Structures are given as C-alpha cells and as structure tokens.
Amino acid sequence: MSRLSAVKPAYWISGVLLAIAVVVPLLVSTYAKDEPRLWGFPFFYWYQLLWVFLSAILVSICYKLVITEERKRRAAEGLGDPDKAGPAKEGDQ
C-alpha cells in the first residue's frame, strides 16, 4: 500500500482550503479595479480586507479538521488525548 492512500480526506480538504486562502488573494486580475465601491472605499481595499476574514475562517476550519483527525488517530493507537496530559512523572522536565 502506498503512503498516498493512507492520507485521510480531512488532510486533502485542509490543503485545498489553505491553497484557496493563499492563491486567490494573489490573483491580481480579480481585484485590479476601482468599482464597485463599498461605503466610498474602492473595490481593491474592501476585497483584500474581506480575504483577511475569509482566510481566518478557512484556517480555523482546517485546524478543526486536522485536530479531529489527529485525535481519532491517537485514540486508535491508544495514545490518549494530547490535551488531557496527566501529571508529570518524576524526572520529566
């Protein structure tokens, strides 16, 4: 079995969403115009600001997808929940 087939759909979805958040704001032809204006601001400014918020939303979705998948993987391997680590043992730093 190849390692590629072991990659879960959550990771593919996260990769695509992150690629969208990075690539779309770099496509100058999508925002190189003055109209339409929103509250007097040219399209360029409010479109770029919109992508700041959209990117934050996309990154948070990706985070939740990956963390959920990691918790499932850790539970399947019997490693426990990394957020609920027990007390430190003697000698741990």
82 vs 67: CA distance, rounded Å: 10
- Sorted by where each begins, the domain ranges of the chain are 8-81
- 62-89 pLDDT, tens digit per residue, is 999 888 888 887 887 777 665 665 555 5
47 vs 29: CA distance, rounded Å: 12
2 vs 7: CA distance, rounded Å: 10
**pLDDT above 80 for 92:** no
Q: What are the phi and psi torsion angles at 38 (to 5°)?
A: -125, 115
DSSP 12-63: HHHHHHHHHHHHGGG-GGGT----S-BTTB-HHHHHHHHHHHHHHHHHHHHH
Arithmetic mean of pLDDT over the chain: 79
